[in-house]
Amino acid sequence: MFTGIVEEIGKIKNLELRNSILKITIASKIVAKDLKKGDSVAVNGACLTVVDVKRDFFSAEVVPETISKTNLGFLKISDVVNLERALRLSDRLSGNIVTGHIDAVCSVKKIIKGNNWEIVLPIPKEFLKFCVNKGSICVNGVSLTIAKIENSQIVISIIPYTLQNTNLNLLKTSDKVNVEFDLFGKYIISHLENIIPAQSFTSRNILSSFMDFTENGDIACN
């Protein structure tokens, strides 16, 4: 479990593909010091298992499923990645609850640069129902807020501090980013889809659909 608060920007030191398993070695001054074999670490938001640790770098393995469902398969040596160690129960939850299980890889459509950057991301239709105005979303392992929703795309606003301390400042149009949608939203919508028949949910109509369903007496409220 993670929070989407990036602790360090690491640099890809080596990539080794063997028997369909990609071994990624990442140079790290902060995160590597507190890791041991078997630990979980988020790399660009994807939860990986540490298989080797040295003083200033660590290695993690990426299975074919993760390669196909994240942007890790596009990495090159010297690329930089966002790193976060697993959450401890005693830690403050400064971001949002993140599992490290990537839902979708999205391509950046547009970047509006200023004091704050605005990034426009088209969202696959099946995931739009998890997006709400001012809701949480995790992009490349960074906890962010959805500023607005326009048709089938979202706009996220990024403050200068986040730009300076993550790899989001290197994004270009058409770059692919890992996206994880809000965990609570996914559970709630999954539950409602099971109890409300034959509804096509979106973030805008799910509440009204639920209210209509309860007003018709289909759900008993105690």
Q: Would you say the pTM of this structure is higher than 0.85?
A: yes
CATH number where 24 lies: 2.40.30.20
Domain boundary (59, 85, 111) is at 85
Residue found under tokens 């048709």: 151
Dist. CA 95–CA 1, nearest whole Å: 12
Backbone dihedral region for residue 214 (phi beyond 0: left; psi -120 to 50: alpha; all else: beta): alpha
**pLDDT tens per residue across span 24-34:** 999 999 999 98
Domain boundary (26, 57, 85) is at 85
Q: Give 72 or 115, the one with higher predicted confidence.
A: 72
DSSP designation for 98: B
**pLDDT tens per residue across span 170-210:** 999 999 999 999 998 888 888 887 776 555 555 555 556 55
First to last CA, the chain: 34
> Count of domains in the chain?
2
Residue found under tokens 């393995």: 61
Range of the domain at 49: 8-85
Q: Position 21: which residue type?
A: I
